[in-house]
Amino acid sequence: MIIISLISFAIQDKLGDPVQQMVGMTVSQEERNQIRDELGLNDGFFLQYWRFAKGAIHGDLGTSYYYKEPALNVILEKLPATLELAFCAIVLVVIVATPCGVLAAIKPRHILSRLLMVISSVGLSVPIFIIAILMVYIFSIELNIAPSFGRGQTKEVFGLWESGLFTKDGLKHLLLPSLSLAIALMPIFVRLIRAEMMEVLQSEYIRFAWSKGLSARRIYFKHALKNTMLPVITVGGIQAGTLVAYTILTETIFQWPGMGFLFMDAVSRVDTPLVSAYLIVVGGIFVITNTLVDLIYGLVNPTVRLASHGL
């Protein structure tokens, strides 16, 4: 997190002059320098970073130049929309990629399995913004069955945040952006589940299960799939963190009012405190996600716990 904060703070000067975005063209250079002094922008890098780090320890990541509010508060207001989008995409990936990967592993020579591999190869090669634009063109412009922008109607949940998951209009607006994110991730998981399950199916205990006369369904879904999920959990955790970063393009295309859309606005306005706060929050999500994956992996895989105790 210290390295992330250093990098996010170091790029601030590369984005442009925030004072130029804050004031009009008629403001004199002397007044601009005075504003820079008030904001501490004329101080040295290490002095600015030290001041920033002291505030960050207490949860103060600076004040947004545009919103005139604490940058962390602005981001946390947009965080539920991004998490909602990422959650729906992950659910779609799990629902679709798992049976497709299992089918491709059980019957690798079947025409449907080969078709899945071809589609997944193509899917890995297509950028996410192309997928999003195609979704808008097909489902919004041509078929007119789903809205192409906005979050739609939301409902307050427990008085803590607003969600579109509990309204019909919100679900309609959520369909295209979440599906676009899911399609971008599905090929990775389909190929990973297929490769891991094919390897597990060749193991000795699976052959022993066949010799005992266990049903194919029990062997495939209870014994083989359970052990296939171990590496999938690791990759899934990393991809879940990456998903938050992926939402920048998706939210921009679909005008989804989340953190990614906020970040693009902050860059265009040279709102450097907001940009730094966004990078730190996303970095924190990565760190927390990977830590949770390590803990879950240790719970699921007993050999990891044994190795950690030197047994």
Across the chain, which has 311 residues, the per-10-residue mean pLDDT values are: 83 74 70 77 80 84 87 89 88 88 86 87 84 88 86 78 83 89 87 86 83 82 78 76 78 88 87 88 85 75 54 46
Amino acid (1-letter code) at residue 196: E
What is the third-level CATH fold of 76-253?
Answer: MetI-like fold (1.10.3720)
Give residue 300's pLDDT. 65
Burial grade of 210 (CB within 10 A; 0-12, 13-18, 19 or more): exposed
pTM exceeds cut of 0.85: no
| Angstrom distances, CA of residue 39 to CA of 28, 32, 34, 71, 135 | 17, 11, 9, 15, 44
**In the chain, where the domains are located:** 2-57, 76-253
Q: Which residue in the block uniquely carries the two structure tokens 């002059």?
A: 17
Phi and psi at 165, nearest 5°, equal -70, -15
| Angstrom distances, CA of residue 223 to CA of 218, 226, 228, 230 | 7, 6, 9, 12
Give residue 125's pLDDT. 84
* Cβ neighbours, 10 Å, residue 69: 12
Q: Please enumerate in sequence order all residues whose Cβ is within 8 A of that of 143, keeping only pairs 6 or more positions apart, or say none.
A: none
Closest CA to 91 of 298, 260, 240: 240
Q: DSSP code of 12?
A: G
* Bridge partners for 70 per DSSP: 63
Closest CA to 188 of 109, 125, 230: 125
